[in-house]
Amino acid sequence: MKQKTAMKVVLLSLGGSEGKTMIVTQMLHPHMPEARILCVDSANETAAEFGIKNCEKHSGDEFNSTYHSLMSAAGDVIVDVGGSKECKEFMAGMLAIDGSDAITTVIVPSTPSSKGQSCAIETIERLIDDGVDKSKIKVVFTGTKKDTAVEFAQLIGGMKENGLIPDLNLTIVHSELFNEMIENKELISNIIMDETDYKEKAVSRKNGDATDYVGKLIRQKMARRTVWPNLQAVYKHLFGAE
């Protein structure tokens, strides 16, 4: 049997709040539960705050240490690069030693905001200038409400100008559930595995308010019917997973 090639995945963007940690915790970790997660950040939330154990914290200017962890790991590795400062430091370190050779995929997430799209284009241009193979760069469109092609027209145009082919299958649709999970430091994997029948609990509750059960029922249905299938589809398109 052919041995599976280890994935070395880096998520970065020169913009903030573009969905990097959401992608790590809610999409990549459930599909790659044994992967080491290297959190290159000094201030923002990291995967460790969601109860994920196999996390290591690095600072942006410690690229040699991060690169060593990336290279020495026998299995899958996910590198979640934090804000603009950390991203610039990480890319500078990668350029200094041609460190992109160890990376199999670079995910650049973007929200539909004009600033988010501009930062994504700048990130792509910087990566290409630093010698990262264009085939490794994957743009994930986060927070789409209706039409990815329309909402991300600026970014799609920038990708084409830089020789990248936009894949609109890499669209994570907007859902309030993401905001709730980020706020509560909760994993979607726990929501979809929860077998509690909240509908029955809400209906049978005789005393007191059943609002809490109804809320959990809504979250459970939303996770199973729309959010999780969407995340699974994006993961499959990213990595060709079965």
pLDDT tens column, 133-160: 999 999 999 999 999 999 999 999 999 9
Look at residue 125 and tell me whether its pLDDT is greater than 80.
Answer: yes
Q: Which of the four pLDDT bands, split at 50, 70 and 90, describes residue 5?
A: confident
**Does residue 189 lie within any of the structural domains?**
no
- How many independent structural domains does the chain possess? 1
Q: Whole domain around residue 40: which residue ranges?
A: 8-178
**Does residue 21 lie within any of the structural domains?**
yes
**Residues 6 or more apart in contact with residue 25 via CB below 8 angstroms:** 47, 50, 52, 181, 187
Look at residue 207 and tell me whether its pLDDT is greater than 90.
Answer: no
**Residues 6 or more apart in contact with residue 33 via CB below 8 angstroms:** none
Q: Is the pTM of this model over 0.75?
A: yes
Q: At what angle do helices 84-96 and 114-129 cross, to 10 degrees?
A: 10
Q: How far apart are CA 158 and CA 125, in angstroms?
A: 9
**Does residue 55 lie within any of the structural domains?**
yes
Look at residue 166 and tell me whether its pLDDT is greater than 60.
Answer: yes
**Does residue 207 lie within any of the structural domains?**
no
Burial 60-87 (b: 16+ CB within 10 A, else e): bbbbeebbebbeeeeebbbbbbbbbbbb
CATH assignment at residue 87: 3.40.50.300
**Does residue 41 lie within any of the structural domains?**
yes
Look at residue 193 and tell me whether its pLDDT is greater than 50.
Answer: yes
Q: What is the pLDDT of residues 171-186, one digit of tens each?
A: 999 999 999 999 999 9
**Does residue 32 lie within any of the structural domains?**
yes
pLDDT score of 1: 39
Look at residue 9 and tell me whether its pLDDT is greater than 70.
Answer: yes
pLDDT score of 59: 84
Q: How far apart are CA 120 and CA 137, in angstroms?
A: 11
Mean pLDDT of 52-70: 88
**Does residue 117 lie within any of the structural domains?**
yes
Higher pLDDT, 202 or 9: 9
pLDDT score of 204: 79
Look at residue 77 and tell me whether its pLDDT is greater than 60.
Answer: yes
Q: How far apart are CA 76 and CA 141, in angstroms?
A: 23
Look at residue 2 and tell me whether its pLDDT is greater than 50.
Answer: no
Q: Which of the four pLDDT bands, split at 50, 70 and 90, describes residue 165?
A: very high
Q: How far apart are CA 11 and CA 29, in angstroms?
A: 13
Q: How far apart are CA 163 and CA 212, in angstroms?
A: 49
Mean pLDDT, rounded, of the chain: 91
**Does residue 221 lie within any of the structural domains?**
no
pLDDT score of 84: 85
Q: Give how far the C-alpha of residue 215 lies from the chain's centroid of Cα atoms, to the nearest Å.
A: 26
- Of the chain, the percentage scoring pLDDT greater than 90 comes to 67
Range with lowest mean pLDDT among 8-12, 60-64, 95-99, 238-242: 238-242
Q: What is the pLDDT of residues 42-54, one digit of tens each?
A: 666 788 899 998 8
